[in-house]
Structure 1
């Protein structure tokens, strides 16, 4: 076995052990035993298990970064296609590089935060944020929540992928469809200024005002109109629904004019689904 072949063998052995047991639980002795070499051979090639681990993580990070960047790299396609392509790209990587993915998502001993899996996901979220910003501008939606929406999309996809890696009971295409179904239908119906209907300070104050009005009137029935107007489940929900219907019709018209590259292109979405 040549020096290069031996190095590749040690990388494969190390990746398998780190994926199964984690960095801390693996020793140089164990790596050498699985590779059927002496400990000095491991030290000669990598200086220890830290060096071997760093090489493995670097390879997997570059592979995953290239995969996801390529999926996000065509702004000319429909936004839904970007969501589909990115979800499928991550799941394909997980399917084809199961051990490498397990190494990445385990706790890293590295003291360099720039080389961690979380930093990679942060970089991907920034790219998603750029794409969402452009789309939000076209739709005249508030851009304040864009960084959070980007983190939600990336987090939802990554954590679902981790769950699927241990429980692959559906195909990657079906799982990608599940992810996109939730993400896209949520994105296509965003409110410009979303709010909580039943929880939170504003909702509690509204409930207190409604209770006070009913108490002052002495008859909930006589205040039915006022209650309906202030009930977030009925009033706010209805108003929001009407606004979404009106904005949906406007967006559909705009979509036809701009080639369909919009988030709220509901007619096309329903047709495709």
Structure 2
């Protein structure tokens, strides 16, 4: 049996879930490096070490493959932010944890953040909807926390939440684009301190019993 046939036989024995994970990992590398439009299914298949028919068995087309990745990472971002808010009852630490969730997300190996924050097909309705859902879910979670703890009406709490999300996202991306000029922990502390002085100073949050 030739080396190519041996590799093919070995590849074919992967369970479906393992194969899907392998294909998604390869696709993430290609999409992150090239963007959606320049990425080719041929390159993704080659990077995964499979034939194109095998790739198409799992994903009917490039958009479906991209959406599978985008959905996964959008869910990771939402889970990171909501988990940060639930991680403590200390409101100052909550703000720091929420900011940290964005820095952790952009710092993730494989540059998954590019699919969510820097997608070159945001105009595609299904892509736009998924990205907006992720942002809204994070804003909703922070809004609920501010409303409950600061005794503020929802409209004002939401505006503050949008500001915190926007500042965290932009600052985290700038930090990464600048090649991490300071330690991540220090960067998170700087942005969270700025946010806390605005939220905690202007609208004192009450400690939980």
User: Which band: TM-score by shorter chain?
Assistant: 0.7 to 0.9
- Kindly report the root-mean-square deviation, in angstroms, between the aligned alpha carbons of the 2 structures: 2.5
Give the total of aligned pairs. 192
Q: If the length of structure 1 is used for normalisation, what is the TM-score?
A: 0.62
Once residues 23 and 188 of structure 1 are traced to their aligned partners in structure 2, the CA distance between those partners, rounded to angstroms, is 41
Q: 1: CA distance between counterparts of 2:78 and 2:26?
A: 23
Q: How many Å separate the matches in 1 of 2:102 and 2:153?
A: 29
Q: Is the 8 A contact 1:125 1:150 kept in 2?
A: yes
1:41 alignment partner in structure 2: 54
CA distance in 2, matches of 1:26, 1:90: 26
Secondary structure, counterpart of 1:11 in structure 2:
helix
Residue 201 of structure 2 is aligned with which of 161, 169, 189?
189
Give yes or no for the alignment of 1:158 onto 2:172: no
Larger radius of gyration: 1
Matched residues in 2 for 1:116 and 1:164: separation? 25
C-alpha separation between the residues in 1 aligned to 2:134 and 2:153? 27
TM-score, scaled to structure 2: 0.79
Aligned to 2:21: 8
Q: Is the 8 A contact 1:19 1:100 kept in 2?
A: yes
- Name stretches of at least 5 consecutive residues in structure 2 with no aligned partner: 1-10
Matched, 1:23 2:36: yes
Task: Tell me the CA shift for residue 3 of structure 1.
Answer: 4.7
Query: Could you tell me whether the CA contact under 8 Å between 2:147 and 2:153 is conserved in 1?
Result: no
Does the Cα contact within 8 Å between 1:136 and 1:143 map onto a contact in 2?
no
Partner of residue 146, structure 1:
157
What residue ranges of structure 1 are gaps of 5+ in the alignment?
Answer: 192-250, 262-273
> Does the aligned pair in 2 maintain the 1:132–1:146 contact within 8 Å?
yes
In structure 2, the CA distance between the partners of 1:27 and 1:113, relative to structure 1 (3 Å rule), is closer
